[in-house]
Structure 1
Amino acid sequence: MPTDRLWGWIVAVGLALIAFGIRFVNLAVPNKLVFDETYYPKDAWSMLRYGYETQWPDGDVVNPKIAAGDVDLYLQAASFAVHPPLGKWLIALGELTFGMNSFGWRFPSLVFGSLMVLVLVRLVRRVSRSTLIGGLAGLLLTLDGLHFVMSRTGLLDIFLAFFLIAAVACLAADRDWFRHRLARHLQVNRLADLGGGFGPLVWFRPWRLAAGVLFGLACGVKWNALYLLAAFALLSLAWDIGARRLAGAGRRSTAGLLLDGVPAFVSLVVVGALTYLATWTGWLATTGGYFRTWHEEHPDAMSVRLLGGPLASLWQLHKEIYGFHSGEFINNAEHPYDAKPLGWLVVARPIGIDAVNDIPPGTQGCPPGGDNCLQVVSGMGTPMLWWAALIAIVFAAFFWIGFRDWRFAIPVVGLLSAWLPWFFVGDRPQFFFYAITIIPFTVMALALCLGKVLGPAVPGERRLIGAVAVGGVVALIGANFAFIYPILTDRVITYQQWLARMWFKSWI
């Protein structure tokens, strides 16, 4: 690891504070519920009152009242929520602290989005063994438009992305921890290597346990975290087998599939499941939640006899949620911002979060004597960053498979496990903002590849040329972020200024 531990933390915290600062400006604008904020902040507010989601009057009627400060309009009847509760509880913390207003329900997203920058810096620093490359990854994430918007919107996905990248960071730390543990075993026993033996069986691995908790929290926000849990659990187990082989276990290293696999399953899956269950405490501790009393109406059901009443009701609720996500209603739904995953990596169809059109010249900040103006919040990834990252992920796969460079496995596995599952649910509407779980991994790939371009930390012409190339890429991405900034932040711009930022017809 790098020896500049203090600077490592200064860079990580500093970039997180920079990300926080530029996202904090006008956080409460627009001062209303936008896009799917019509669901989660209202669910969160009723959860503070009852411990579970309740129904609200029609959004077209109640949303303007909430924006005006009339917030206690929830009903007592339970609402059918199609996502687990943790993300809404986090939004509720902001509302509890600052009130049921646009600042309150967006502040938790701001905090977790900024922390996500910090965690990415630490992860990439550990993997690359370079504070510079770790800081580069954090800077690139700070300059991403989609991450910027999702850190300023009261939706669930920024929490999901944070818990996932934090879990992966813990597994990367566990890889180093386990290798140090094997090396210590050899040193204490004065061994040159394991001599064909399996080596110590290590059940308690703190970083892997922490990863299990974080994966459980991610699942407590949205279920698609399960795909990344499965993928990185297998990758972590492969790291264990590789470590034992390197230490001299030889063919015995494959016994790790069982002897390391069982402890890994307990730490990641069992601990993750228990953590996930804990996110339902509010629903379990009360009796008014949706389907909460199902067991009373079905006392003879097998699930009631096996699990007990409350857990059987929770299981039934999960079946209903799964039915919603896979049923005819969602599969037949249509949406103007439907964006299929094939186009996510090239920013084919950004998501419109909010828009106010046809502002007359001379009113509401629109310059007089010219075109009509508009205000928009577009969930658009910084195009230059995403396109460069797409190229980098191809090279990352080449470095991992072709040169067996383990570092590049993380962004490749992260991308594939966060992206490919969406291809199997292509009938339902899908949105570009789901890709918020992808961008940390593609940014990581880009930072690692730019590290290759930069070259060894040795003064000379090679380093100078690499520094100029990397600086040019970062400057281009920064300029691109600044250019699209007005359409990320609800600024009043003319129609022509907006069109100048709509480079493709699919962006309109």
Structure 2
Amino acid sequence: MRRNVDNPWIAGPAVALLAWAIFLFRVTVPAQLVFDEVHYVRAARVLLTLSGPENIEHPLLGKELIAAGMLIFGDTPLGWRFFSTVAGAATIGGVFALTRLLTQRTPPALLAATLALLGFTVYVQARIAMLDTFMLAFLIAGIALIAASARSGSMASWAIGAAMLGCATACKWSAAPYVAAAAVAFLAMRRGRTDRWPGMRALPAIATLGAVSVGVYFLTFTPAFLYTNDALTPARLLAFQWEMYQRQTLVLPPHTYQAAWYTWPLMLRPIWYLYEPVDGVQRGILMIGNPAVMWGGLIAVAACLYRWIRTGSARLLAPAMLWALALGMFAVIPKSLGFYYYYYPAGVFLSVALAVAIDHWRAALGEWVEVYLLVAFALALYFLPVLSAEPLAHAGAFSRWTWFARWV
């Protein structure tokens, strides 16, 4: 039994399948569109008819996946959200794989996957038809494959990782900086070191990264060439990217749940995706992170950076830099409004940082790790009613979970 737990080829798929089962349970509740589902499900409906462009400010892949679920299960809550549950499970599996690559040990990989599952945000996003859910699943797969190629020197792993990054960008443009980050990491880590990406030459590797990621991105626009009205043409493909950019950078009116990027790590303004009577009962869905994971993860990032300065260990630097990139890019992205759910990738990377830090200091932490996990699990049970749209006692029940005035 112990051997099976330590075997990453058994433990990784097992934890992803367990997560998938959790995400699927009652995924059809509520049986109405929630939050931004109103935009993306509507766009998926249009895609199924190929009648014309819809929601053109974002690329197509995420909406294509929502449409695929609706094609299989119908225009129903299960159809809207089925592939979100798959993406959520893939995200948990990706967290496991990335942490296993960084630490070369299965227990910290299981810990990272567990913390990601207990961190609330993957659970909430895996049960709603939004583009961020698909973007992160592809993104973390791409990062894990790129990291695997650093050890093996496998050009196939590098190329498939590039394809995953292209798919992530084809869901949301906020994944695009990771393509550049992969190139920078390759060049920086190869300099003076022959044990990273052995046998891979710089020019072919960078060319492959760019060609594959960009090529896959553009391939996802294929359905747009088949529209009945205003079909895309090869001549318009690049110009259409400019149209998307113009729409994404529009100055929008203030929003109740807007929040500046530097407030996200402290969860100063989470989002109620839903809070209204549904099916005759009050229900709520709060997009928030587990305080033990989100706030504890900030300590882990600081600890990893401190220890990296002392030792130069790349495995300690990597999760901290992934978190910093996922957050810091929003300081320069020209969007007029920000929302807490933009922190979704960064929040998941905190699970990796926590597991890497705990593994590094495991001897000193001892039984405190179990205490910490119990706290995270207890908070998950406490918040579960407003993560899963369970029936609430009355319209004012939100006060039980809103610790601060800005959480309302």
TMscore range, shorter length:
over 0.9
Q: What does residue 432 of structure 1 align with? A: 340
Contact 2:6 2:106 in 1 (8 A): no
Alpha-carbon distance in 2 for matches of 1:112, 1:332: 29
Alpha-carbon distance in 2 for matches of 1:351, 1:263: 44
Aligned pair partner of 1:273 in 211, 214, 231: 214
Alpha-carbon distance in 2 for matches of 1:217, 1:427: 22
Percent identity between the two aligned chains:
27
The question of 1:482 aligning with 2:381 is answered yes
Give the letter for the 1:19 counterpart. Answer: A
Q: What does residue 296 of structure 1 align with? A: none
Describe the SS at the equivalent of 1:157: helix
Alpha-carbon distance in 2 for matches of 1:425, 1:207: 30
Q: What does residue 140 of structure 1 align with? A: 115
Give the letter for the 2:66 counterpart. Answer: I
Residue ranges of structure 2 left out of the alignment (5+ in a row): none
Cα deviation code 1:456-490 (max 9, x no counterpart): xxxxxx6xxx3411111111111111111001111
Cα deviation code 1:330-387 (max 9, x no counterpart): 3242211112111111211111111116x9xxx946xxxxxxxx32111111111100
Contact 2:27 2:81 in 1 (8 A): yes
Q: What does residue 81 of structure 2 align with? A: 106
Alpha-carbon distance in 1 for matches of 2:90, 2:191: 32
Q: What does residue 238 of structure 1 align with? A: 188
Describe the SS at the equivalent of 2:176: helix
Q: What does residue 507 of structure 1 align with? A: 407
Map residues 13-162 of structure 1 onto 2, 5 A cutoff.
13-50=13-50, 76=51, 78-162=53-137
Alpha-carbon distance in 1 for matches of 2:269, 2:383: 15
Q: What does residue 360 of structure 2 align with? A: 452
Contact 1:215 1:268 in 2 (8 A): no
1:25: how far off? 1.6
Alpha-carbon distance in 1 for matches of 2:310, 2:141: 28
Give the letter for the 1:414 counterpart. Answer: L
Alpha-carbon distance in 1 for matches of 2:291, 2:284: 17
Contact 1:105 1:154 in 2 (8 A): yes
Q: What does residue 58 of structure 1 align with? A: none
Q: What does residue 319 of structure 2 align with? A: 411
Map residues 67-466 of structure 1 onto 2, 5 A cutoff.
76=51, 78-178=53-153, 205-244=155-194, 260-284=201-225, 286-288=226-228, 290=230, 292=232, 310-326=233-249, 330-356=250-276, 364=280, 374-425=282-333, 428-455=336-363, 466=365
Give the letter for the 1:337 counterpart. Answer: Y
Give the letter for the 1:393 counterpart. Answer: V
Alpha-carbon distance in 1 for matches of 2:82, 2:301: 32
Runs of 4+ in 1 over 6 A off after TM superposition: 3-6
Give the letter for the 1:391 counterpart. Answer: I
- Tell me: CA distance 1:406–1:451, structure 2 relative to 1, closer, same or farther (3 Å): same
Q: What does residue 391 of structure 2 align with? A: 492
1:5: how far off? 9.0
Contact 1:98 1:104 in 2 (8 A): yes
1:287: how far off? 4.8
- Tell me: CA distance 1:238–1:48, structure 2 relative to 1, closer, same or farther (3 Å): same
Give the letter for the 2:47 counterpart. Answer: M
Indicate the RMSD between aligned Cα atoms, in angstroms. 2.3
Contact 1:124 1:444 in 2 (8 A): yes
Alpha-carbon distance in 2 for matches of 1:93, 1:319: 27
Describe the SS at the equivalent of 1:352: strand
Describe the SS at the equivalent of 1:116: helix
Residue ranges of structure 1 left out of the alignment (5+ in a row): 51-75, 179-203, 248-252, 293-309, 366-373, 456-461
Q: TM-score, normalised by structure 1?
A: 0.75
- Tell me: CA distance 1:32–1:404, structure 2 relative to 1, closer, same or farther (3 Å): same
Cα deviation code 1:88-127 (max 9, x no counterpart): 1111111111111111110100011011111211221121
Which has more radius of gyration? 1
Alpha-carbon distance in 2 for matches of 1:450, 1:280: 43
Alpha-carbon distance in 1 for matches of 2:314, 2:397: 45
Q: What does residue 368 of structure 2 align with? A: 469
1:274: how far off? 0.7
Contact 1:171 1:236 in 2 (8 A): no
Identify which of structures 1 and 2 has the higher relative contact order when contacts are C-alpha pairs closer than 8 Å and 6+ apart: 2
Give the letter for the 1:490 counterpart. Answer: A
How many residue pairs end up in the alignment? 404
Describe the SS at the equivalent of 1:224: helix
